[in-house]
């Protein structure tokens, strides 16, 4: 009798444990679903519910805007800060000798125009993205590409004409600057063993020469 009651009590407790575990699992599943629904909604908005392309509503594409601007000399200079012949020369030079190429995202003409427009105004990357109807990544990558090509061009056009300095500029021959160079020339013949006094005097002459050179550069 007592054994049967003990067996019935153990069976009842086991059923209670199973029911409690099921309720716990059900609550965990419900909480998981509640947390998952907003995430799925955000993912759906970002990746499935997309707005129509901006090009469908834009009056003209970025390339069309560039081509229209290039047709008028005044508009070309206002937007890109260069005249049309210079724009063409720069474009041809970068394409033929310094690696500027058209891509599937943007043509070389549009890329150079975007580069000059951003630098000339100046404009931000987001303004270029809105004006040319391109993604921010395309604008950023293209700007970096054109900048790399221009940096390759820079050493070939920004350089000294006379590497030996055989001629002296007329401004440097004026009495305001010649005395400083004469003192500097004399200081170079000093013996380095004459002590700190000579070194301090030489540093003073060098500082004076630097100031005069800065003054001369501003007057050129």
Residue-wise pLDDT tens digits, 136-191: 999 999 999 999 999 999 988 888 777 777 777 777 667 676 666 666 555 555 44
Q: Cα–Cα distance between 77 and 81 in angstroms, integer?
A: 4
**Of residues 42 and 199, which shows the higher confidence score?**
42
Give the residue numbers spanning the domain of 93.
62-157
What's the total number of domains in the chain? 2
124 and 196 in a common domain: no
Residue 196 and residue 152 in one domain: no
- Cβ count within 10 A of residue 123: 15
For residues 184 and 209, the answer to whether their CB atoms sit within 8 Å is yes
Question: How far apart are the C-alpha atoms of 185 and 44, rounded to whole Å?
Answer: 76
Between 38 and 110, name the one with better pLDDT.
110
The alpha carbon of 16 is separated from its chain's Cα centroid by a whole number of angstroms, namely 66
pTM, two decimal places: 0.56
Q: Which residue has the higher pLDDT, 214 or 149?
A: 149
Shared domain check, 82 and 118: yes
Per the listing, tokens 């229209």 go with: 68
In the structure, what pLDDT confidence band is assigned to residue 1 with cuts at 50, 70 and 90?
very low
**Which has more pLDDT, 10 or 140?**
140
Q: Of 125, 157, 189, which residue is a domain's last?
A: 157
- Residue 163: inside a domain: no
Kindly state whether residue 29 falls inside one of the protein's structural domains.
no
Residue 19: inside a domain, yes or no? no
Residue 45 placed within a domain: no
Q: Are 149 and 180 in contact (CB under 8 A)?
A: no
Domain membership flag for residue 116: yes
Is 55 a member of any domain? no
- Quick one: 94 and 145 in the same domain? yes
What is the pLDDT confidence band of residue 92, given thresholds at 50, 70 and 90?
very high
């Amino acid at each position: 009798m007592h054994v049967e009651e003990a067996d019935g009590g153990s069976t009842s407790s086991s059923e209670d444990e199973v029911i409690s575990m099921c309720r716990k699992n059900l609550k965990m599943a419900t909480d998981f679903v509640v947390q998952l629904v907003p995430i799925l909604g955000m993912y759906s908005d970002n990746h499935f519910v997309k707005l129509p392309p901006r090009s469908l509503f834009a009056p003209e594409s970025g390339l069309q805007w560039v081509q229209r601007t290039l047709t008028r000399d005044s508009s070309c200079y206002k937007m890109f800060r260069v005249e049309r012949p210079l724009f063409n020369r720069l474009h041809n030079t970068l394409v033929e000798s310094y690696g500027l190429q058209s891509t599937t995202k943007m043509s070389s003409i549009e890329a150079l125009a975007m580069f000059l427009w951003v630098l000339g105004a100046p404009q931000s990357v987001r303004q270029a993205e809105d004006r040319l109807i391109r993604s921010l990544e395309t604008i950023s990558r293209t700007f970096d590409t054109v900048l790399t090509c221009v940096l390759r061009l820079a050493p070939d056009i920004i350089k000294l004409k006379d590497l030996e300095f055989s001629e002296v500029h007329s401004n440097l021959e004026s009495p305001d600057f010649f005395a400083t160079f004469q003192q500097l020339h004399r200081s170079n013949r000093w013996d380095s063993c004459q002590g700190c006094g000579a070194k301090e005097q030489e540093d003073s002459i060098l500082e004076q020469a630097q100031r005069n050179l800065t003054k001369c550069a501003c007057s050129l």
